[in-house]
Amino acid sequence: MAKTKHRVLSKSQNSIMLDPPLNPFCSVPVSILSSIVLNDSIEIILKPEKQQINILPRKNLLSRSEKVDKKIVANLDHLFLVVTNFPKFNLINSAKIAIRAQNENIPYTVIINKVDRSNVNESFKKKVKALIPFHVWGKTKVSEKFKIIEVSLHDDILMNNLISKIREIALTSESSEVSICLIGQSGVGKSSLINKLIPSAKQKTGIVSARHKKGRHTTRESRSFEYKICDGNEKKIFVMDTPGIDSFGLENLKYRELVKYFSEWENINQQYFFCKFKNCSHDSEPDCGIRKFLVNLRNNSEDFEHMSSRIMLWNKLMFTINKKSVENNRS
């Protein structure tokens, strides 16, 4: 009996690529193939006249919905949520990805790409900041796992922001292998960033429609590439490209999961102002502690704008949850 362990380097609807490569005498049945996702670890046991394939336990799993065919990637150490304003930025979609990542205990960094473009301006950057928890004074500073960095393919200094972040993730990881995935809408430049980091990747790229301001689905399969740090570090770093995601489902999103994403609410209620109502929407209820806290930030425009954007995002997501709940009750 022979037993081998493999990492899934690429996954499409009908095929996978493994590291190390699959034994010529082995094949992956379609019934199992549908359950495997990018970056899975699988175990193949060869027995006389028989083979057994096991998907090893995952430490996390990022998926677009609860459906099997909507699972994206597993076993991540870090997620790069890539955004820009061309194609047009979708805040709610990006927030859903961030919520899913946080619920799976996947640290994420927001990558603002194409900052050399005129429409990626300060107004846009303030909108993006809504994806990052607000730092409440008196508490431990918001973890470095939540961060925004700016990059551009045409600026080596800005590209170094991305390279430095990858190096930081690798050096602070206790594992000998590190897995990082790029995710975002079609056209935000995920594949172009991969090609810049790893020229041998040669990922196909497309252009954004000027008329519709939407990206085209150029990347058809999820794929992992090994990235080398040029400082003698021996860790294996895998950077992953994924097809564009223009809609991200959170069909079963619970109120408590949303509260976890807005962890600053609890900090404010404990340290500064209580909300009169347990399920306060922080919109128009009387004696809302969050809005009282917001008023206290008026003398600091940056904090005021950040907190305002978080409250706005909270209300939009709450509306999504309540609307879905009504639809489910009707069906």
Structure tokens at 234: 């021996």
Mean pLDDT of the chain: 83
Q: What is the pLDDT of residue 140?
A: 44
Q: What is the pLDDT of residue 103?
A: 87
- One DSSP character per residue, 130-159 reads GGSPPPPTTSPPPPTTEEEEE--TT-HHHH
CA 37, CA 70: separation in Å to the nearest integer?
10
Q: What is the pLDDT of residue 23?
A: 72
Percent of the chain with pLDDT over 90: 36
The CATH topology of domain 61-241 is Rossmann fold (3.40.50)
> At residue 158, does pLDDT exceed 90?
yes
Residue appearing with tokens 């909507």: 70
> At residue 229, does pLDDT exceed 70?
yes
Domain residue limits, the chain:
2-55, 61-241, 255-330
- Supply the pTM of this predicted model: 0.87
pLDDT tens digit string along 231-268? Answer: 666 789 999 998 878 777 666 677 778 888 898 888 88
Q: Under 8 Å CB-to-CB from 27, ≥6 apart: which residues?
A: 51
Amino acid at 207: I
Q: What is the pLDDT of residue 254?
A: 74
Q: Angle at Cα 156 formed by Cα 176 and Cα 108, nearest 5°?
A: 45
- C-alpha distances (whole Å) from 288 to each of 110, 155, 201, 263, 268 are 30, 45, 52, 16, 11
Burial of residue 90, with CB atoms counted within 10 A of its CB: 0-12 exposed, 13-18 middle, 19 or more buried = middle
Between these two residues, 279 and 114, which has the higher pLDDT value? 114
